[in-house]
Structure 1
Amino acid sequence: MHPPRLGRRRGAAVSLIAAVVLTGCSEIDRPRIEIPEGVPPGAGAPLPPIDVDAPGRSADLLVDWAAPLADPLGIGSTALESYGHAAAVMARSAPGCGLAWTTLAGIGYIESRHGTFAGSSVGVDGTSAPPIRGVPLNGTAGNAEIADTDGGELDGDTTFDRAMGPMQFIPETWRKWGVDANGDGRADPDNLDDAALTAGRYLCARGGDLTTPEGWQRALLAYNQSGVYSRDVRDAAAAYSVGTRPSG
């Protein structure tokens, strides 16, 4: 594995993964699908209407949508429900944003392989365990230097901050933007429902209209100030938009 591409700024998230080889079905066995270029990436499979105010984990209402997509996309069904649910919530709360679930999935792929980095797995409630933590942001190896801001309460480090969870938020950003999306009464950076909706709120606030190239790029650069990161997310999201897995 290549070194993690972390930090270098105080944005929403700190990228955990540079490259991981996907396991499972051989790409040789899969028909080649042309991946569209340009930004923003496509919106992907349309979401069915759901009651995002339903009690409990309302993302469960997307199980029939997510189940047939999970294997072709290489995304766990629960994670896919999280991305779809976040997009549905944002479509109601910020209809001018135009956030697609594919963008959230692209970020989730680059940040943590959808909550499965280093042997973690996503439970039925959307929580990734064991918790995923980035390296200490101590200013070395090209990372930002961010002294501890939470007393180690969220990230377990009392000296430096670390990026947290499947969408890799740093504590100071999570404290400002974190939201409860699975109905358990708390905002948890290790829960993919919560993290995906938090990412959606942040992207829409920073990018404005994500259906435009300018808005989408502005949002992604706010999330991680790296053109390479934005291209990697775009490539993954574009693959999901046409129903296939990223090639990297």
Structure 2
Amino acid sequence: MTRRLRRIGGCGIGVVLVVIVIISLVGWVLSFLGKPPAFDELAPVPQSMPPEPGAEVPAIDVNSGGRTADKLTFWAEDLSAQTEIEPQALRAYGNAELVARERFPNCHIRWNTIAGLAYVETRHGTYNGNWFKPSKLDENGYPDPPIVGIALDGTNNTAKIPDTDNGTIDGDSEHDRAVGPLQFLPQSWEQVGADGNGDGVADPNQIDDAALGAAALLCFGDRDLSIEEGWKAGVLNYNQSLDYLRKVQSAANSYSIPQRATS
């Protein structure tokens, strides 16, 4: 029986306006520390909407079982230096694009749109709110330390969202929190959660699962992300903020061209 899904919105740290403002300071902080900006481009970044497509993802068998993203290792290794995205995250985004082609054939989602979301939300599973102890994806694709947003209790300019999962996903039995590399709220994950790494569990903390869940959320409602109207609607369904939309657009476009690798 097919479930009817309601319109989904309000995912992630990006929902919290104050956190969006804090995240926007990352470039300034990195410059202060003497590190290059996140997007040190070799060529002007396109301003397209939808974003220009990133490097073509090679065809793999995404129905073979297990962690199919690992079959994209050779592709991700080459692309990592150009995009400054950790290979494991790249594999997850590429795998999500290929799976989405089968599950949502009219969507035409590209991996760099998912990467744009992940950059804005958590810098690909590394930003957790602690400048001195950033997270890092472990060998199984989980951020360490885990990334859990602040309680959405109506304070600190947040929405007030009472607990919807008894704390099963976010560890909070009073209010919901956004979790994982793509910062899903429990109520949103309940609707679009997916198993991207083939372990039989849909977990928003795992990068393959989160990337595929993000693709499902963007494609929700049979959207076509190859046209401006569809792409804009998809991203705004993820977070209903025009500032957020512009940041994702910029990041996704940046990943469509070769970037200078950091030392």
- Does TM-score exceed 0.5, indicating one fold? yes
Cross-structure match for 2:59: 49
Unaligned runs of 5+ in 2: 1-7, 129-133
Q: How does 1:1-248 map to 2 (within 5 A)?
A: 10-15=9-14, 17=20, 18-19=23-24, 20-21=26-27, 22=30, 26=36, 32-118=42-128, 119-206=134-221, 208-244=223-259
Cα distance, 1:10–1:200 mapped onto 2, change above 3 Å:
closer
The 8 Å contact of residues 9 and 238 in structure 2, kept in 1 or not, is answered as no
Report deviation, 1:140: 2.2
What residue is the counterpart of 2:5 in the other structure?
none
Deviation track 1:195-228 (CA, whole Å, cap 9, x = no partner) reads: 0001101110146000000000000110000000
Distance 1:183 1:31, change over 3 A: closer
Aligned length: 235
127 and 216 in structure 1: CA distance in 2 versus 1, 3 angstrom threshold = same
Provide the C-alpha distance between the structure 2 equivalents of 1:236 and 1:207, rounded to a whole number of angstroms: 24
CA distance in 2, matches of 1:176, 1:164: 15
Q: Partner of 2:182: helix, strand, or coil?
A: coil
Deviations along 1:164-201, whole A, 9 cap, x unmatched?
Answer: 10000000111121111101111111101000001101
Could you tell me whether the CA contact under 8 Å between 1:207 and 1:219 is conserved in 2? Answer: no
CA distance in 2, matches of 1:167, 1:48: 24
For 1:138, the aligned partner's letter is: D
Task: Provide the TM-score with structure 2 as the length reference.
Answer: 0.84
In structure 1, give the amino acid aligned to 2:229.
Answer: E
Cα shift readout 1:50-79 (whole Å, capped 9, x = no counterpart): 000122100001011110111221110000
Measure the CA separation in 2 of the matches of 1:125 and 1:10.
28
101-110 vs 118-127, greater mean Cα deviation = 118-127
Q: Residues 10 and 99 (structure 1 numbering): CA distance in 2 closer, same or farther, change over 3 Å?
A: closer
Deviations 1:79-122 (A, max 9, x none): 00000000010012212111000000000000010001131111
Q: Which runs of 5+ in 1 are unaligned?
A: 1-8
Percentage identity across paired residues of the two chains? 44
Alignment check: 8 A CA contact 2:142 2:205 kept = yes
- Measured after TM superposition, the shift of residue 153 of structure 1 is 1.2
Cα RMSD, aligned residues only:
1.9
**Partners of 2:185 and 2:244 in 1: how far apart?**
17
In 2: Cα distance, 1:213 partner to 1:207 partner? 14
CA distance in 1: counterparts of 2:106 and 2:210, whole angstroms: 21
